[in-house]
Structure 1
Amino acid sequence: MKKILSLGLVILCSNLLIIAQDTSPVIKSIINEANENSQLENLAHELMDGIGPRLVGTPQMKNAHDWAVNKYKSWGIDAENEEWGEWRGWERGITHIDMVYPRVQSLKGTQLAWNPSTKGKGVTAELVVLPMVKDSMEFAKWLPSVKGKLVMISMLQPTGRPDYNWKEFATEESFSKMKENREKQTKEWNDNMKLTGYGRRTLAPALEEAGAAGIVASYWSRGFGVNKIFAAYTKKIPTVDLELEDYGMLYRLVESGKKPKINIVAESKEHGTVPTFNTIAQIKGTEKPNEYVILSAHFDSWDGGTGATDNGTGTLVMMEAMRILKKFYPNPKRTILVGHWGSEEQGLNGSRAFVEDHPEIVEGVQALFNQDNGTGRVVRMSGGGFLNAYDYLSKWLYAVPKEITSEIETTFPGTPARGGSDYASFQAAGAPAFSLSSLNWSYWNYTWHTNRDTYDKIIFDDVNNNVILTAILAYMASEDTEKTSRKKAILPISNRTGKQLEWPEPRSPERKGGLDDQ
């Protein structure tokens, strides 16, 4: 039976619990330290401003791993970088994009990840847009015309204003008209893409093979000035993402017959094959050292911004919680381990490798707490499909201050994750792992994988709340006299397939990433 409860109701229903949070000196100390001596802003500055984005395979990713190890050791916590695979070594350099005809204007955009460097003065060429075609044969006949041209492969957006801005200021008729026109245009664009015979991943390589000088895209994230920044699919020619405003201007110039030209200088370095790591730190348990409370957050990011909310904030929560626990709970009953996973963004690779390489730790997991969806305070927790999760999670949450738990909605028994973030790697192996899901703060449109995911988007009050929550949960899980149950609930019928859901199977990581693209 599914239970959806606010923590207020959980607390009211917990009259049999005898835990008194106001008598626990450890919990009092956790709360006081977090509120009076927070290190979050300094840690955020060092990680986001100093080290920057943490794309797997880059020197910045390795710098971040080394920084975390040194930081933990400065707090008296054992830590190491554990190698689990190899990746294509690559380093971003300077990107300059300038319109040089019919007038001169510097443009806002960036080279996509793992794209080769341009040479000399870069690439200067005329822009063309994808044609409307009847079928793939017509597109194949058009392909040779891209030789020596820069090809624009994204749809011209009809507006750069997000919907909430339209809703606030436009008439109802105007807003409806815009949405209808955009839906029609989007459908026509998607239908035309299907007619070309190519998809998002295959189009750019086909254009490269046909002799294009480069690829120009714009992956708008439906917010003011914000684009999602991912990886390039070309091996020799530049691929850049332009912000909507500049992309739209160039597209309209092409359509009006002005034949605009731009110059792209995109400097990057190849570093061959480099090792990939997870950073692991632990406070050894005194009574049950082979049972584990795991604090979990992925360390890597995409590199359009500095990875502040995906997943810099989750990283900060776990580091600060560990610092506080070491200071006020230095001899836990169970081992408290923190995992800063590499290459989550390419498929949970670091955590999957850890699960595969350390079955003895997975077997000993008392609980895992993962945070990975933005800077907001935690507002949702699920039992993850573990039948008896309510029994222990509600007990642990009862010890957390009401001002933190009052807005947390819990769902029991819930269902296991099939991806999304690193707790899914542990759930698939049967370990009780739980996501600390946070308030939105416009995460999906403004900071998730975007060029605006930067330090200034962090809400430190919310992050500090999450530190208190995480540290108390870790303390309570460590102190619990009982080992947590791993009994799985009977999963519901899938609305999509009409069949009963099955527990996800563990998946092996990609241990040699991007090496085929070199």
Structure 2
Amino acid sequence: MISRVRLAVIAAAVLAATPLVAAAQEGWTTGDPVLRAIWSEGMERSRLEPMAQALMDSIGPRLTGSPGQRAAHEWAAAQFRGWGIEARNETYGSWVGWRRGTAHVDLVQPRVRSLEARLLAWSPGTADAVTAEVVAIPELADTAAARRWLGTVRGKFVLGAAEPVTCRPVENWQKWAQPQMLGRLAQDVARADSSWRRRLSRLRVQPNELEMLLTRSGAAGVVTSEWTGGWGTQRVHDALGLPLPVLDVTCEDYGLLHRLASRNQGPEIRVNSQAEFTGAAPAMNTVATIPGRALRNEYVVLSAHFDSWDAASGATDNGTGTLVMMEAARILRAVYPNPKRTIVVGLWGGEEQGLNGSRAFAEDNPEIVSGMQALLNQDTGTGRIDRISLQGFTEAEPFFRRWLSRVPPMLADSIKLDAPGLPSAGSSDHSSFVCRGAPGFWLLSTSWDYGTYTWHTDRDTYDKIVFSDLRRNAVLLAMLAYQAAEDERIPRTQRTEFPPNVAGQPGSWPACRPAQRSLN
């Protein structure tokens, strides 16, 4: 428990390091009344906190095809309409409908302990509580031995990942270990990886084929673990298309099970994990529009993906990007209700399954692609925006430098332009438009340990949001969108150099292939 004294110390340290918001207006280089009104609206009347609490806590995760995904899109459209912004939910296809239930996984032999575990998304649950032995894949002499071993796994839970060498974060070792200990750790990790690959090679499977092999062999389920390298965090993705339960267990509990099983100490677990397949479910985007007063057929697009994985609530991937775009639209509607160009907000579905929502929108709305002035996309967590990739558009840099020169230094001074950048830089929803020649730009954020602790993990929750950075981002996005709506047209001149894996042709990018609109 954190004591009140400890909380007070933390709060005092944070306040001491935080400049007053009012001081941020010092150094403005413009008296533009719209920019100043955007600042006041976003900093003094922000709606980010209540929106975030409703979305992350009450609605929760937004897995494609889940009831939560549909509820979230309905909530977002209602928010826009409440601000006087036209909004609709556009169905672009369907996906596997799936609803997560409760999960209880307990070690019952050789001792009793409740384990931290959950089903992977789209995995079937257990009909009732199932108690079964847990076994590890042994060292196998040859493929014949592998076949014999597979004949023994029926009705058992099989450990589907290597034994972890450590569950301490790397920075712990770097801070406290002696140099020779670090060398030994690296050797141990390499040996564990080599041993795991050798075991899979005896089974003649790749890592992504193991679960299907165990399904055919009659296993009761698979227990796996994909540690992120941070305290208590797990990468949690999917087990789509498998008929047996696949359980993800934390590094610490997985290590316990693996040590018991590999030493023949008879571990058994009791699993009661509920899930329901609900049939084909609509896959959709939420699209909101503020019509332009003069150039209605030219567009500034605020872009973020709305779907998430569902082991947590999708707070920083990409709830924060979504909220920034919604808040920027709210601010613009309040202080700039009649933009010169049409402003569109796209909250895309199916990004985690291959940019499907934004790809479908680009396919279905060629007039918006051809009329696009700028698309501003964010999908890198809760931190303040500190870099903008211009995605190979060689004449975009003067526009961004001009726009950034007119916003408060608090927002602009730490931003670096990746100019002109490469068209294929990054893989997020901007790519669906960039590969079609439309000027889409990627706004990247400071880390806040996004890759270790929140991206695709079971810890991506409301409490990880840094609202001071989100307020800055929303104000910045509104200011950029306003200036893009009023400025001259950005030329579409684009670099033609592509990395080798793109094979030199924009049309070969995954983002430019037809969207996967269903699994049929």
Match for residue 200 of structure 1 among 201, 207, 214? 207
Which residue among 144, 160, 163 is the counterpart of 1:153?
A: 160
Q: Does 1:453 align with 2:460?
A: yes
1:417 maps to 2:420? no
Report how far residue 415 of structure 1 moved: 0.4
Secondary structure of the 2:515 match is: coil
Aligned to 2:105: 97
Which SS does the other structure have where 1:220 is aligned? Answer: coil
Structure 2 CA distance, aligned partners of 1:384 and 1:149? 50
Instruction: Tell me by how many angstroms 1:391 deviates.
Output: 2.4
Equivalence for 1:297: 304
Q: CA deviation at 1:156?
A: 0.9
Q: Does 2:95 correspond to 1:87?
A: yes
Question: 2 CA distance for matches of 1:123 and 1:174?
Answer: 42
Kept after mapping to 1: 8 A contact 2:163/2:192: no
* Matching of residue 465 in structure 1 with residue 468 in structure 2: no
- 8 Å CA contact 1:381–1:408 kept in 2: the answer is yes
In the alignment, what sits opposite 1:33? 41
C-alpha spacing 1:234/1:213, structure 2 compared with 1 (3 Å): farther
- Which residue is equivalent to 2:358? 351
* Distance (whole Å) between structure 1 residues aligned to residue 314 and residue 117 of structure 2: 17
Alignment map for 1:184-333 (pairs within 5 Å): 184-233=191-240, 235-333=242-340
- How big is the shift at 1:184? 2.5
Give 5+ residue unaligned stretches, structure 2: 1-27
Cα distance, 1:183 vs. partner? 2.1
Q: CA deviation at 1:21?
A: 4.8
State the Cα distance separating 1:190 from its structure 2 match: 2.5
Asked if the contact 2:137–2:159 (Cα under 8 Å) also holds between the matched residues in 1, the reply is yes
Using the TM superposition, give the Cα deviation of residue 35 of structure 1 relative to its aligned residue in structure 2, in angstroms.
Answer: 1.2
Partner of 2:56: 48
Give how far 1:141 is off: 2.9
Partners of 1:138 and 1:313 in 2: CA distance: 50
Counting only pairs closer than 5 Å after superposition, residues 17-28 of structure 1 correspond to structure 2 as 21-28=29-36
Aligned partners of 1:381 and 1:191: how far apart in 2? 43
Residues 68-110 of structure 1, C-alpha deviations (whole Å, 9 max, x = no match): 0000001000000001001111100001101111121111010
Gaps of 5+ in 1: 1-19
Report the CA distance between 1:266 and its aligned residue.
1.0
TM-score normalised by structure 2 residue count: 0.91
Q: Distance in 2 between matches of 1:415 and 1:427?
A: 10
Aligned partners of 2:490 and 2:276: how far apart in 1? 48
Count residues in correspondence. Answer: 490
Greater shift in the superposed pair: 59-68 or 235-244:
235-244
Matched, 1:69 2:72: no
2:376 maps to what in 1?
369
> Are 1:204 and 1:234, in contact at CA under 8 Å, matched by a contact in 2?
no
Deviations 1:238-282, CA, capped at 9 Å, x for gaps? 110011111111111112221110011110112111111100001
Equivalents in 1 of 2:436, 2:102: separation in Å?
Answer: 43
Which range is displaced more, 109-118 or 448-457? 109-118
1:30: how far off? 0.8
Amino acid at match of 1:441: W
> Deviations along 1:166-213, whole A, 9 cap, x unmatched?
111222222222122212222332343234211232111110111101
SS at match of 1:56: coil
Residue of structure 2 equivalent to 1:491: 497
Distance 1:360 1:467 in 2: 27
Query: Contact 2:161–2:196 (CA<8 Å) still a contact in 1?
Result: no
Query: 1: CA distance between counterparts of 2:506 and 2:411?
Result: 32
Counterpart mapping for 1:473-512 below 5 A: 473-480=480-487, 482-491=488-497, 494=499, 501-505=504-508, 506-512=512-518
Contact in 2 for aligned 1:205/1:234 (Cα 8 Å): no
Q: Which residue of 1 aligns with 2:68?
A: 60
What amino acid is aligned across from residue 364 of structure 1 in structure 2?
A: G
Letter in 2 for 1:316: L
Supply the AA of the counterpart residue of 1:444.
G
| Structure 1 residue 378, shift from structure 2 partner | 0.9
Q: Give the Cα separation in 2 of the matches to 1:502 and 1:393.
A: 27
* Matched letter for residue 185 of structure 1: A
Contact kept? 1:491, 1:500, Cα under 8 Å? no
Residues 93 and 284 of structure 2 are in contact (CA less than 8 Å); yes or no, is this contact kept in structure 1? yes
The 1:357–1:419 alpha-carbon spacing in structure 2 relative to 1, beyond 3 Å, is farther
What secondary structure is seen at the aligned counterpart in 2 of 1:222?
Answer: coil
User: How far has the Cα of 1:408 moved from its partner?
Assistant: 1.2
Query: Aligned partners of 2:485, 2:115: CA distance in 1, in Å?
Result: 53
Specify the SS of the correspondent of 2:369: helix
> How far did residue 136 of structure 1 move?
3.9
CA drift at 1:233: 4.8
Contact 1:204/1:233 (<8 A) preserved: no
CA distance in 1, matches of 2:29, 2:55: 33
For residues 195-239 of structure 1, give each alpha carbon's deviation from its aligned partner in whole angstroms, at most 9, with x where no partner exists: 421123211111011110111001111110000101115633211
Instruction: Provide Cα deviations, 1:279-325, integer angstroms capped at 9, x if missing partner.
Output: 00010000000000000000000011100000000001000000000
Cα distance in 1 for partners of 2:260, 2:496 equals: 58
Greater shift, 226-235 or 420-429, is seen at 226-235
Letter in 2 for 1:283: I
Q: Distance in 2 between matches of 1:166 and 1:331?
A: 56
Show the 5 A alignment for 1:93-172.
93-120=101-128, 122-172=129-179
The alignment yields a C-alpha RMSD, in angstroms, of 1.6
Identical pairs, percent: 45
